[in-house]
Amino acid sequence: MMNLTMIGALGEMTEWEIHCRAALTNGVSKEEIRAIVHVIGIYCGVPQGLECMRHARKVLEEEGEL
């Protein structure tokens, strides 16, 4: 979860999607992903949080979590 936060803060969206998918596979819930995105939005700015949310939504849809 710390990796997701750091990768999101850096704006590495390809890596974000890979690690987001791996986190879901390893038991991180979509609510926890949402909380990570909120932290990114608070500390890195709303635009970066929104970008992470867009990519997280894509991964969640592909994984059948939405």
In this structure, is the dihedral angle defined by the CA atoms of residues 27, 31, 33 and 36, taken in order, positive or negative?
Answer: negative
Q: So what's the pLDDT on residue 65?
A: 80
User: What pTM does this model have?
Assistant: 0.89
List per-block mean pLDDT (blocks of 10 residues) for the chain, which spans 66 residues.
94 95 95 96 96 96 86
Total domains in the chain come to 1
Tell me how far apart the alpha carbons of residues 9 and 62 are, in angstroms, rounded to a whole number.
23
Q: Which domain holds residue 17?
A: 2-62
CB 48 within 8 A of CB 17: no
CATH no. for residue 46? 1.20.1290.10
